[in-house]
């Protein structure tokens, strides 16, 4: 097993390749790292010259294939999750205080959360031109990282079974991978064969806003950080992007409904509640 780590997109990235040490993986690892840098340069709202930042500033852009693909996927996710996953939460994130990288954020915002409308209009035509309704801006934080993980994993998998861990968003190609998942009172290990994982939660990217807990998972219906009885949701899906979408969508609806939805759709997930319960749903077999 060969491993390589670096920082990108504000988090630690780890690349794993199930190949003997004699395999020269340096080139694919370098290519994967370059791919993360390239996609961050396109999709990050914290970089003023990124394609996303230019779109948010100008309201329209002739997007490159990656930005267009991610936005299309985000809009499709918004349809499928009845608005629970919404890329137009940008201003709500700012209102909640998440207006800079998380590393730069203070622990206490010093003001209350200011809710903002979501569910804004976005159009992407066949040529990749993206147009935003006036006042609408996009955030592609979670989906951008998982998209990059999938792209990097595809590069590494040229040499064998591969896994890319992008700060908890995990993409795999081939092989069977034991992945640790934190539970309420410890952890468990899931064996994942082809697919992706993502964990959404309020336990990491959180801060205080005028003494009240705030975090980065916006409920588009309220324009505020989501309330509810879940602390973390880990989802296994056909790829990391899909896992990220469903993890966010399930987090918003609370433990009972999330478990029911996961069971109904056969979506393996691990739910951790605020009162210390761990629920396995969606067909995870122990």
- The footprint of other proteins (CB under 8 A) covers 1, 11, 14, 16, 142, 145-146, 163, 165-170, 177-182, 187-195, 197-205, 232, 234, 236-238, 242, 244, 265-268, 280, 282-286
| HEC profile of 129-153 | EEEECCCCCCCCHHHHHHHHHHHHH
Nearer residue to other proteins within complex by CB, 152 or 280: 280
Least CB distance to other proteins at residue 201 (A): 4
**Closer Cβ to other proteins, 156 or 170, answer by number:** 170
Minimum gap (Å) between residue 209 Cβ and other proteins: 19
Spatial neighbors of 188 by CB under 8 A, at least 6 apart, are: 180, 181, 270, 278
> 206 vs 222, which CB is nearer to other proteins?
206
Q: How many Cα atoms occupy the beta-carbon half-sphere of 125 within 13 Å?
A: 6
CB closer to other proteins out of 11 and 222:
11
Least separation in angstroms between residue 129's CB and other proteins is 30
Read off the tokens for 216. 């980065």
- The least distance separating other proteins from the CB of residue 179, rounded to whole angstroms, comes to 6
Q: Which CB atom, from 16 or from 258, has the smaller least distance to other proteins?
A: 16
The angle that helices 240-253 and 255-265 make with each other, rounded to 10 degrees, is 140
By beta-carbon proximity to other proteins, the closer residue of 65 and 107 is 107
Instruction: Give the span between the Cα atoms of 257 and 122, in whole angstroms.
Output: 29
CA distance 32 to 45: 21
Least distance CB 121 / other proteins (angstroms)? 27
- What number of other Cβ atoms are within 10 A of residue 268's Cβ? 20
C-alpha torsion angle, residues 213, 112, 50, 198 (rounded to 10): 20
Would you tell me how many other CB atoms lie within 10 Å of the CB of residue 276?
Answer: 10
In the complex, minimum distance from the CB of residue 113 to other proteins, in angstroms, rounded to a whole number: 19
Comparing CB distances to other proteins, the nearer of 81 and 200 is 200
CA distance 243 to 71: 16
Q: Cβ 41 to other proteins, closest distance in Å?
A: 19
Number of Cβ within a 10 Å radius of residue 137: 23
């Amino acid at each position: 097993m060969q491993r390589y780590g670096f920082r990108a997109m504000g988090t630690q990235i780890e690349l794993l390749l199930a190949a003997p040490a004699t395999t020269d993986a340096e080139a694919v690892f370098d290519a994967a790292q370059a791919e993360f840098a390239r996609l961050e340069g396109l999709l990050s709202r914290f970089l003023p010259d990124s394609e996303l930042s230019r779109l948010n500033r100008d309201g329209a852009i002739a997007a490159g294939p990656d930005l267009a693909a991610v936005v299309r996927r985000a809009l499709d996710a918004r349809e499928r999750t009845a608005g629970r996953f919404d890329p137009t939460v940008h201003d709500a994130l700012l209102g909640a205080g998440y207006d800079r990288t998380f590393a730069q954020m203070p622990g206490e915002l010093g003001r209350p959360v200011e809710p903002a409308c979501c569910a804004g209009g976005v159009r992407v035509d066949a040529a990749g031109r993206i147009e935003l309704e006036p006042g609408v801006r996009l955030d592609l934080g979670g989906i951008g990282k998982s998209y990059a993980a999938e792209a990097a994993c595809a590069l590494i998998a040229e040499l064998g079974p591969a896994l890319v861990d992008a700060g908890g968003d995990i993409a795999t190609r081939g092989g069977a991978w034991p992945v640790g998942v934190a539970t309420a009172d410890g952890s468990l290990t899931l064996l994942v064969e082809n697919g992706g994982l993502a964990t959404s939660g309020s336990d990491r990217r959180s801060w205080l806003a005028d003494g009240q807990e705030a975090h980065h998972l916006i409920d588009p219906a309220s324009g505020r950080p989501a309330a509810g009885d879940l602390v973390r949701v880990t989802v296994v899906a056909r790829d990391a992007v899909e896992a990220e979408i469903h993890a966010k969508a399930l987090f918003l609806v609370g433990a009972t409904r999330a478990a029911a939805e996961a069971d109904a759709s056969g979506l393996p997930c691990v739910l951790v509640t605020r009162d210390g319960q761990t629920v396995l749903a969606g067909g995870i077999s122990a």
